[in-house]
Amino acid sequence: MIDIFNSHIVDVLPHKFKSDPEVLALSYAVSTILNKYFHSLSKSMVISGIDNLSEEVLDLRAIELDIPYYTSDMDIETKRKLVKSAIALYKKAGTKASIRAVVQTVLGNGEVIEWDKFNGVPGSFKIVTSGSSDTEALQELTKIIKKIKNASATLIAVERIIDIKAAVYIGGLVQSVTIQSVR
């Protein structure tokens, strides 16, 4: 198999052309131009090359995609996840699935509970998570949800569930008393 990045035209030509200086020069020139082209092309692969992009390029890509919940102070892995998922989220914007995806990206886990599951007002929903305990992250999530939710939907609350593991000891005492009446 021929490696396209390290090959020359002369590699595929018949033997009698391999010693011609003009063919060798042309082969070298075309190879040099193609290598520059392939190098530029690898930098322009925005979707497939997100894992290789620098933080500055990720920030610019987020501006280009107009990701409403992207901030430049996020860690680089969260930025990569958001840029990767931006186009898919735009396809399902305003749906329960898009809100769930944002919750899981920002907090790590969580579920969107619609109004009929908790006897709420029609069109309302709440988010239940056991993810991040950072109050600032929960406030940021609330701002993001307000931007991407359906205009007719209402976010009631973001509830955080905390699992507390503790030993519970129960004790008891039984006492028998006999009451006698004397007359």
CB atoms within 10 A of CB 144: 20
Q: What is the mean pLDDT of the chain?
A: 81
Query: CB of 73 within 8 A of CB of 60?
Result: no
Q: What's the whole-number mean pLDDT along residues 54-72?
A: 83
Distance from C-alpha of 153 to C-alpha of 124, rounded to nearest angstrom: 5
Q: Are 27 and 10 in contact (CB under 8 A)?
A: yes
Kindly report, residue by residue over 7-43, the tens digit of the pLDDT: 788 888 888 888 888 988 998 899 899 888 887 777 6
The CA distances from residue 28 to 5, 12, 22, 36, in Å, are: 12, 13, 10, 12
The answer to whether the beta carbons of residues 46 and 54 sit under 8 Å apart is no
Read off the pLDDT band of 47 (50, 70, 90): low
Task: Give the rounded percent of residues in the chain with a pLDDT score beyond 90.
Answer: 1
Phi-psi map region of 108: left, alpha, beta (phi>0 left; psi -120 to 50 alpha): left
From 35-49, 65-79, 154-168, the region with the lowest mean pLDDT? 35-49
Please give the pLDDT value at position 144: 78
- What is the average pLDDT across 76-95? 81
* pLDDT for the residue numbered 142: 79
Q: Is the pLDDT of residue 133 over 70?
A: no
| Ranges assigned E (strand) in the chain | 111-114, 124-129, 154-160
Q: What is the pLDDT of residue 44?
A: 66
